[in-house]
Structures are given as structure tokens and as C-alpha cells.
């Protein structure tokens, strides 16, 4: 394979030249103990990292307060806690992205001080952030070796890199095309590229910050299996995640943080989800959902009526209704057609047959714009891809469905927009510095509040919430659950679609179960989990058209 000029590669992406990266002086070794270079310190496995009494504050707010933890190569140590608990800050300190105000880091008993992620990488510690940090226009191969290219005489040795890549791909089981552009990859495959980049840099410890938050269930399972594989090969992980079941299945140890402080460190074999939630929130798991309402909705006004809705090969003869003030849960396995039905009602996808009525009148919705105008709102399953404009401000995102009301003569009336944004932000408890900040800088839970809150500037008749707490920590979940119930109490008809049975059972007044594109049955909100699962797996009988 022909060699490529290093300067040509760098010039094509607008970065500093690869040759300059390769030839610039190594980081000053003085931050490391006993005059050792960081490379010397990671020459022999296994290794052990210890963080002692770490503290960090921002503008007077204590992000991390006197936290200690440790992890060894070949082990997974999880960090859990609510948003703002200090998990990500501690991970960034360990990976050199942030410097602590107090405390110290030790590798194999020797103090180290990382001034930046490059020094941490030299010390064998890599950071895989929640937001992908790859160069989209470059290939998988170029991203994996960016900054560590195999160079001879000023030229990148592509053959050598490709050989190394294939060896790593075979060892890890990653099925990645080295020539594929990163921008064309699924999020799960982009995560793999990030991990390969860390391995190429000889990392023995990888800090992973919410690695599965943006992945679907299948991709998450694959990533978890890959972490297990790397663990078996001697690589250690600090695993930051909101998914407590995932943490308990993967990690060896788990540290709970709350308000920046250390609550506990336990072997995962000795704790359960309930216990972790109690430590994180200061209240038991049973308090996660608002108290069930005893009101019966049999006589309430039908707001949305769906009759015989079908789309060839996707869903068939779907019929149900939503009543004013009612929360209806929709359960079913992944691929059962739940999301597709929601998108069809909202006009995002076409349907072949069936009808929809809104407030007693026929409602043929051909586009999301028409659905919004008629009072149907959809919180999609992926807020980042479908629900929000991540680079836009909180105020701009909250105004999206009602932008026409916020403009005059082609110009946005900023005072009106800001007034509405401030009102909604307070109503749904969006925690932020200002409505002018980019929504991408908010935590997952606050982003989801924006995704819901944007529909409340002009109150809809129907709210469809698809996976309303995906990628949200347990603390923000309760706030979102309370918000959904409050909206129902104010008269909205609410459809909640969720892969988590506990969520459906905790919120719904009535439960619809989907199986292979059809409504397999309807159950009361207090139904047993076994009954829901039986229908979801097709073991129950198809119910007659429910409550029409």
C-alpha cells in the first residue's frame, strides 16, 4: 500500500500536521514521580490507580469533595450517582482533562500529576467521553491512529497501520471497515473506534463516561460484552453510568457519589439496585414513582381514537383510545411496533389503512407540522437525533414547535421567546445557568426536560412520550415522572411508550401490550409483570378492539 504524506493528511482535515505531533517534545516528565517518564511507568502489567482525597470546585460550587477510590488493571470500577454528584468530574480528573484543587493520584503507589489528557495517555489512562470526539470526515483507520501515526521519513506508513488495525480488530472482535468514514457509522461503532484509539495508545485503564447513553439496547449489549472481553485481557475501566442493572452485571466494585461526596464503595456482588438507589437519592426505589391515582377514566372524554391503523410489514390493525387526564402505557419487546405506531399518529411516517380521531373529529395527519397544529405532541425516543437541536440554545429549542408565534416579519421576537422559555424552564425544573446556553451542555435529564417542555409553550391535547427517561439518571427520572402525571392531572391525554416494565407499571392507569405489530391485549395499570410479559412474548390471547 502506498505511503501517504503526513503533512498532506493533516492538511486535508485542517489540523496541525501529523509530523509535528509525532516530533514535538514529549510532555515534561517532572509531574511524574522519581523523574520517570509516564511510558516507563506503564511498561509492566498489572497496574493499580489510586485517587486519594480528591476535591474540585467551580466558581465556589463543590463538584467533588474529598473522594477516594482505586481500580486495578483487569477490573471494572463503576461510579454512580445523580446528575451533579461529581462522577464525570472525578473521571476527568483521573484522565487528565481536569486538575484537582486538592488530593493526589498514584499509579502503582507512585504519585503522578497529569496536566492534560495527553500526559494521562502517556501514563496509560484514556478517556472515552459521552460525546464522541472523533473527526467525522476521516476514516476509521485515520481516527484510530490520529496523533500516533506510524511515520518514516515524514510519510505515514499506512500498511503498518492497517496491519496493526486488523490485528486489534481480530483480537477485540470488532467488525469495522478501516476505510469507512466515521460520519457514516452508527453511534455504537463510533464508540468502538474511540476504544480502539485508546488501546492503540497502550492504555491499561479506560475511563468511560456514560458509554451506553446514546446506544440502543442491542448496541449497549454489544458494548458491555466488549468491555468484559477487554477486562479479561487485562484492561481496567472506570465505568460511569446511570444504568444500575448494567453496572451490577459488569462492574467488580461500585462507588456511590452524592452532592460531590463519597457515600459508599461496595463489591457489586454485595449490593442490589434498590440499595444503590437508596444511597444515591436518600430514599427507597419504591418512592421513584408518584402515588398511583385512584380516579377511574371510563367516563372521561375520549381525546384520541385510533382505529385499525396499519402499515404493511410494520404494524397491523392497531386500535386504542386515550381519554382526557389518563396515562396509558404501551409495553412490548423491541421491534414490536410501538415507536412506529407513535410516529404514524404524529405524521412522521405514513400508514396504509386506518383512521385517527381527535376530540371526536376525523384527523388525517400527513406531517408533524399538521400534528403540532392540531395539538398532538411527540417526545421521540432519541432526543439528540430527533427531539432537540443540540448546538442551539435552550430558548431556541423550547420555541421550536411555536416558532411561528415568536416571529414577526421574518424576525424572532427575542423578548417574547425568552419570556416563554423562562416560564417553561421554571415549570419543568430545567437546571441550567441560562436559557441562552447550548442545550448540549445540559445533563441528560435536563435535556429531556427541554424535549418535553418545548411542547408546553402552547399546551397540546395529546402527549406521546417514547422512552421518556432513556439516558436519564435516577434523580431526574422522578422529576420527569412527576411532570408527566401533572400534565395528565391538567387534562392531557398521555401515551407513555417504554421498554422498562417498571416504568410502564409505575405510571400507567391502563396498559396496552404490543406483539409483532399488533395490540396483543389491554391490562389495568396494576397488572402483574408476568401478565405483561406473557402478552409481549405472544403467549396471551389477542384482545378484542379495546375500549372503543
Model confidence over 4-29: pLDDT tens digits? 433 333 333 333 332 333 333 333 33
Fold match flag (46-124+202-283 vs 301-375+460-548):
yes
The third-level CATH classification (topology) of the domain covering 46-124+202-283 is Rossmann fold (3.40.50)
Percentage of the chain exceeding pLDDT 90: 41
Q: What is the DSSP letter of 543?
A: P
Q: Would you kindly state where each structural domain of the chain is located, as residue ranges?
A: 46-124+202-283, 301-375+460-548, 384-459
Which ranges of 304-382 would DSSP assign to H, the alpha helix?
338-345, 368-374
Model confidence over 81-122: pLDDT tens digits? 877 788 989 999 999 999 999 999 999 999 999 999 889 988
Please, which residues bridge with residue 204 across strands? Answer: none
- CA angle 82-86-87, nearest 5°? 80
Query: Measured between alpha carbons, how far is residue 118 from residues 28, 148, 161 in Å?
Result: 11, 11, 21
Q: Tell me whether the omega of the peptide bond preceding residue 421 falls within 30 degrees of 0, making it cis.
A: no
| 462 contact partners, CB below 8 Å, separation of at least 6 | 303, 304, 322, 358, 375, 376, 377, 492, 493, 494, 495
Q: How far apart are CA 436 and CA 421, in angstroms?
A: 10
Please, which residues bridge with residue 205 across strands? Answer: 125, 236
pLDDT of residue 82: 78
pLDDT of residue 250: 94
pLDDT of residue 5: 38
Q: How far apart are CA 341 and CA 515, in angstroms?
A: 12
pLDDT band at 216 (very low <50, low <70, confident <90, very high): low
Give the pLDDT mean for 533-547: 64
CB 290 within 8 Å of CB 310: no
Model confidence over 219-250: pLDDT tens digits? 778 788 888 988 998 999 999 988 888 999 99
70 phi-psi bin (left φ>0, alpha ψ -120 to 50, beta other): beta
Model confidence over 20-61: pLDDT tens digits? 333 333 333 334 443 443 334 344 457 999 999 999 988 667
CA atoms within 13 A on the CB side of 192: 28
pLDDT of residue 498: 92
Sign of the torsion angle spanned by Cα atoms 383, 388, 391, 397: negative
| 98 contact partners, CB below 8 Å, separation of at least 6 | 56, 89, 92
Query: Measured between alpha carbons, how far is residue 310 from residues 151, 306, 318, 397, 546 in Å?
Result: 58, 10, 7, 32, 16
Please, which residues bridge with residue 522 across strands? Answer: 512
CATH class of 301-375+460-548: alpha beta
Nine-digit cell at 330? 404501551
Q: How far apart are CA 545 and CA 519, in angstroms?
A: 9
Q: How far apart are CA 259 and CA 82, in angstroms?
A: 8
Q: What is the DSSP letter of 538?
A: T
Amino acid at each position: 500500500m502506498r505511503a501517504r504524506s503526513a503533512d498532506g493528511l493533516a492538511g486535508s482535515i485542517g489540523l496541525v500536521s501529523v509530523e509535528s505531533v509525532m516530533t514535538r517534545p514529549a510532555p515534561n516528565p517532572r509531574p511524574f514521580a522519581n523523574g520517570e517518564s509516564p511510558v516507563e511507568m506503564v511498561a509492566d502489567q498489572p497496574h493499580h490507580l489510586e485517587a486519594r482525597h480528591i476535591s474540585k470546585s467551580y466558581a465556589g460550587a463543590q463538584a467533588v469533595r474529598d473522594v477516594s477510590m482505586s481500580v486495578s488493571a483487569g477490573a471494572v470500577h463503576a461510579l454512580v450517582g445523580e446528575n451533579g454528584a461529581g462522577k464525570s468530574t472525578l473521571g476527568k480528573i483521573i484522565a487528565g482533562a481536569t486538575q484537582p484543587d486538592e488530593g493526589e493520584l498514584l499509579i502503582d503507589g507512585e504519585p503522578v500529576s497529569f496536566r492534560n489528557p495527553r500526559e494521562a495517555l502517556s501514563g496509560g489512562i484514556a478517556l472515552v467521553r459521552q460525546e464522541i470526539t472523533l473527526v467525522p470526515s476521516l476514516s476509521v483507520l485515520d481516527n484510530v491512529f490520529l496523533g500516533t501515526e506510524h511515520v518514516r521519513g515524514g510519510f505515514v506508513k499506512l500498511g503498518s497501520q492497517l496491519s496493526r488495525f486488523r490485528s486489534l480488530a481480530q483480537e477485540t472482535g470488532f467488525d469495522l471497515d478501516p476505510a469507512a468514514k466515521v460520519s457514516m457509522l452508527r453511534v455504537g461503532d463510533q464508540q468502538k473506534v474511540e476504544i480502539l484509539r485508546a488501546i492503540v495508545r497502550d492504555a491499561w485503564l479506560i475511563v468511560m463516561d456514560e458509554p451506553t447513553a446514546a446506544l440502543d439496547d442491542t448496541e449497549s449489549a454489544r458494548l458491555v460484552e466488549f468491555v468484559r472481553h477487554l477486562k479479561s485481557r487485562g484492561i481496567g475501566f472506570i465505568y460511569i453510568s446511570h444504568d444500575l442493572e448494567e453496572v451490577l452485571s459488569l462492574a467488580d466494585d461500585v462507588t456511590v457519589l452524592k452532592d460531590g461526596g463519597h457515600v459508599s464503595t461496595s463489591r457489586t456482588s454485595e449490593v442490589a439496585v434498590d440499595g444503590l438507589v437508596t444511597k444515591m437519592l436518600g430514599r427507597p426505589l419504591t418512592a421513584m414513582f408518584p402515588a398511583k391515582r385512584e380516579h377511574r377514566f371510563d367516563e372521561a372524554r375520549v381525546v384520541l381514537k385510533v382505529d385499525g391503523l396499519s402499515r404493511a410489514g410494520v404494524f397491523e390493525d392497531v386500535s386504542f383510545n386515550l381519554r382526557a387526564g389518563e396515562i396509558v402505557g404501551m409495553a412490548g419487546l423491541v421491534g414490536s411496533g410501538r415507536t412506529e405506531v407513535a410516529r404514524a399518529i404524529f405524521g412522521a411516517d405514513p400508514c396504509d389503512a386506518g383512521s385517527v380521531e381527535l376530540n371526536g373529529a376525523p384527523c388525517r395527519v400527513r406531517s408533524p407540522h399538521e400534528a403540532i397544529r392540531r395539538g398532538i405532541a411527540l417526545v421521540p425516543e432519541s432526543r439528540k437525533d430527533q427531539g432537540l437541536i443540540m448546538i442551539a440554545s435552550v430558548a431556541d429549542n423550547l420555541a421550536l414547535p411555536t416558532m411561528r408565534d415568536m416571529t414577526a416579519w421574518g424576525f424572532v421576537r427575542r423578548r417574547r421567546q425568552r419570556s416563554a422559555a423562562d416560564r417553561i424552564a421554571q415549570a419543568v425544573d430545567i437546571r441550567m445557568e441560562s436559557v441562552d446556553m447550548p442545550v448540549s451542555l445540559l445533563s441528560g435529564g435536563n435535556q429531556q426536560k427541554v424535549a418535553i417542555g418545548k411542547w408546553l409553550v402552547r399546551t397540546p391535547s395529546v402527549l406521546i412520550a417514547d422512552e421518556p427517561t432513556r439516558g436519564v439518571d435516577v434523580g431526574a427520572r422522578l422529576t420527569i415522572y412527576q411532570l408527566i402525571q401533572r400534565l395528565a392531572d391538567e387534562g392531557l391525554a398521555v401515551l407513555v411508550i417504554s421498554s422498562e416494565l417498571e416504568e410502564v407499571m409505575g405510571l400507567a392507569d391502563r396498559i396496552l401490550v404490543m406483539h409483532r405489530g399488533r395490540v396483543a391485549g389491554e391490562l389495568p395499570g396494576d397488572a402483574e409483570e408476568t401478565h405483561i410479559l406473557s402478552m409481549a412474548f405472544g403467549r396471551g390471547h389477542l384482545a378484542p378492539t379495546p375500549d372503543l
